[in-house]
A = this chain, B = another copy of it.
Amino acid sequence: MTTPTLQSLTPVISPGFLAADTDPAKADWVMLGFPFDGTCSFRPGTRFGPAAVRAASQGVETYSPRQDRDLEDLNFADMGDLDLAIGDAAKALEQIETAAASVLAEGKKLVGIGGEHLVSYPLIKAAFEQYPDLKVVQFDAHADLRDSYLDTGLSHACVMRRVVELLGPEALLQVGIRSGTRDEFAWMKENKTLMASFEQFHSRLLPWLKTNTPIYLTIDVDIIDPSFLPGTGTPEPEGFTLTELLNWVSPLKTANIVGFDVVELSPHYDHSGMSAVTVAKLLRELLLMIG
């Protein structure tokens, strides 16, 4: 037995997301995790989401038979998780926005892993600073359009309301919403943000695709049915399959996506681990489709 040098050993503490580079400098897409669940009202735990997705991604192939593409060919880097303030939502959001801005400022595109849905607000805000004509597409079980919730306006139940205050209701398309208050559904009806069919969604997207309008995509994983994804804070029955979700997303293939996030995985509520595997596969498919 020849003893190799210590330098030649290549053990690994914990790998990043499947096939990701570690150096963001050369990457087109930069992945960041936001382990924040400070406004979660029902069941906390989405802070453990990013770590669970990375671990689960080790059991997923880099190759997608659906798209006949391989993550190995993609130019993206996983930078890891931000270290966020605890107990002070406003401060945490500021930290997230700053980080997102620094990615976008260098012309790179952003992939965010939540954390609760409120993290999308600073991400979209940072994108909006960079791209003033930004549009937002939301896949979600819940409207997240409350004005305030439990005495605060900075809650995951209010996130899209905050976004709309920034960009206006015409900049928002919502897909899959199946739970909300009477007021939220009335608002969506009035503002025509909720897509009733794939055809409607496609026709609303079309002008943005033609003009190469910058789009931010935010996916709350509870859009997927809890049978496939039990590990989420507010499971809502009668959701999408992963296949349905990917079909709905497919028109964005040709869109000018400047960033996207996948939020609300709460892995401790899924002992089997399949929720994290499903999110890892969703991320692979999104990266291969959009990236």
Contacts and interface: CB of A to CB of B under 8 A. Distances in A.
A152 to B, nearest CB: 5
Contact of A103 (B6, B10, B25, B106): B6
A95 to B, nearest CB: 9
A103 B11 CA distance: 12
B269 A269 contact: no
A180 B13 contact: no
Instruction: Indicate the size class of the contact surface on chain A.
Output: 35 or more
Interface string A54-76: 11001111110100101000000
Interface of A is mostly: loop
Most chain B CB atoms below 10 A, which of A55, A91, A269, A274 = A274
A185 B63 contact: yes
Contact of A59 (B42, B60, B105, B277): B42
Q: How many copies does the complex hold?
A: 6
Contacts of A277: 226, 235-237
A287 to B, nearest CB: 16
Contacts of A182: 63, 70
The 9 nearest A-B residue pairs measured at CB: A39-B87, A14-B14, A230-B272, A13-B80, A44-B44, A11-B80, A226-B274, A227-B227, A3-B101
Given A3-B101, A11-B33, A271-B272, 9 more contacts: A1-B101, A3-B105, A6-B102, A9-B79, A43-B59, A65-B178, A65-B179, A91-B151, A230-B274
12 contacts: A5-B102, A6-B25, A11-B80, A11-B82, A11-B99, A13-B78, A37-B44, A65-B178, A87-B150, A87-B154, A230-B273, A271-B272
